[in-house]
Structure 1
Amino acid sequence: MKEIRTVDAVGQVLCHDMTQIIPGVMKDARFRKGHVVTEEDIPVLLSMGKEHIYVWEKDDSLYHENEAAEILCSLCMNDHMERSEVKEGKIELKSTVRGLLKIDTGLLDRINSQGNMMIASRHPNTPVEPGDKLCGTRIIPLVIKKEEMEEARKLCKGKKIFAVLPYLDKKVGLVTTGSEVFHGRVKDSFGPVLKAKVEEFGGQILGQTVTDDKPEHTTEAIMEFIRQGADMVLVSGGMSVDPDDKTPLAIRNTGAEVISYGAPVLPGAMFLLSYYKKDGKNIPITGLPGCVMYSKRTVFDLVLPRLMADDPVTKEDLDKLGKGGLCLSCDVCYYPNCGFGKGW
Structure 2
Amino acid sequence: MIRTMCIKIGVLSAMKEMRTVDAVGQVLCQDITQIVRGVTKNARFRKGHVIQEEDIPVLLSLGKDHIYIWEENAQEMHENEAADVLRELCQNDHMTATEPKEGKIELVATCDGVFQVDEDRFDAVNELEDITIATLAQNMPVKKGMKLAGMRVTPLFIAREKMEEVRRTAGSEPLLRLLPYRKDLKVGVVTTGTEVFLGRIKDTFTPVIEAKLKKFGLTITEHRLSDDVTEHTKAAIEELLDLGMDIILCTGGMSVDPDDRTPAAIRDAGVDIVTYGASVLPGAMFLLGYCEREGREVTVMGLPGCVMFDKATIFDMILPRAIAGDRVTRKEIRHFGIGGLCMRCEVCRYPICPFQK
Q: Which letter maps to 1:134?
A: L
Correspondent of 1:122 among 125, 132, 136? 136
1:262-292 deviation line (CA, Å, top 9, x unaligned): 0011111000001011223221111100111
Counterpart position of 1:135? 149
Correspondent of 2:354 among 315, 327, 339? 339
Correspondent of 1:77 among 88, 91, 107? 91
CA shift, 1:156, in A, is: 2.3
CA shift, 1:329, in A, is: 1.1
Task: Report the secondary structure of 1:205's partner residue.
Answer: coil
- Structure 1: which 5+ residue stretches go unaligned? none
Q: Which letter maps to 2:289?
A: S
Identical aligned residues as a percent:
43
Return the alpha-carbon distance in structure 2 between the equivalents of residues 334 and 309 of structure 1.
Answer: 22
Q: From the superposition, tell whether residues 146 and 271 of structure 1 become closer, same or farther in structure 2 (CA, over 3 Å).
A: same
Task: Report the secondary structure of 2:220's partner residue.
Answer: strand
Counterpart position of 1:232? 247
Residue 297, structure 1, aligned to residue 309, structure 2? no
Counterpart position of 2:162? 148
Q: Which letter maps to 1:33?
A: V
Task: Report the secondary structure of 1:189's partner residue.
Answer: coil
Q: From the superposition, tell whether residues 15 and 280 of structure 1 become closer, same or farther in structure 2 (CA, over 3 Å).
A: same
Counterpart position of 1:87? 101
Correspondent of 1:3 among 9, 15, 18? 15
Return the alpha-carbon distance in structure 2 between the equivalents of residues 4 and 39 of structure 1.
Answer: 21
Correspondent of 2:122 among 96, 100, 108? 108
Return the alpha-carbon distance in structure 1 between the equivalents of residues 130 and 145 of structure 2.
Answer: 28
- 8 Å Cα contact 2:20/2:59 also seen in 1: no
Counterpart position of 2:6? none
Task: Report the secondary structure of 2:350's partner residue.
Answer: coil
Counterpart position of 2:50? 33
Aligned pairs (5 A) from 1:157-172: 157-169=171-183, 170-172=185-187
Correspondent of 2:72 among 58, 66, 75? 58
CA shift, 1:19, in A, is: 5.6
Q: Which letter maps to 1:258?
A: I
Correspondent of 1:324 among 308, 326, 339? 339
Return the alpha-carbon distance in structure 1 between the equivalents of residues 112 and 192 of structure 2.
Answer: 32
Task: Report the secondary structure of 1:323's partner residue.
Answer: coil
Task: Report the secondary structure of 2:129's partner residue.
Answer: coil
CA shift, 1:149, in A, is: 1.2
CA shift, 1:100, in A, is: 0.7
Return the alpha-carbon distance in structure 2 between the equivalents of residues 275 and 148 of structure 1.
Answer: 45
CA shift, 1:147, in A, is: 1.4
Correspondent of 1:275 among 290, 305, 319? 290
1:211-243 deviation line (CA, Å, top 9, x unaligned): 000011111101111111100100011011111
The farther-off stretch of 9-18 and 229-238 is 9-18
- Structure 2: which 5+ residue stretches go unaligned? 1-12
Q: Which letter maps to 1:3?
A: M
Q: Which letter maps to 1:59?
A: N
Q: What do you get for the CA RMSD once the two structures are aligned?
A: 2.5
Return the alpha-carbon distance in structure 1 between the equivalents of residues 58 and 101 of structure 2.
Answer: 24
Task: Report the secondary structure of 2:320's partner residue.
Answer: helix
Task: Report the secondary structure of 1:327's partner residue.
Answer: coil
Counterpart position of 2:277? 262
- 8 Å Cα contact 2:274/2:288 also seen in 1: yes
Q: Which letter maps to 2:132?
A: M
Counterpart position of 2:27? 15
- What is the count of residue pairs matched by the alignment? 337
TM-score (norm 2): 0.87
Counterpart position of 1:311? 326
Return the alpha-carbon distance in structure 2 between the equivalents of residues 19 and 227 of structure 1.
Answer: 70
Return the alpha-carbon distance in structure 1 between the equivalents of residues 306 and 327 of structure 2.
Answer: 24
Counterpart position of 2:62? 44
CA shift, 1:4, in A, is: 4.1
Counterpart position of 1:198? 213
Q: Which letter maps to 2:45?
A: A
- 8 Å Cα contact 1:239/1:247 also seen in 2: yes
Task: Report the secondary structure of 1:286's partner residue.
Answer: strand
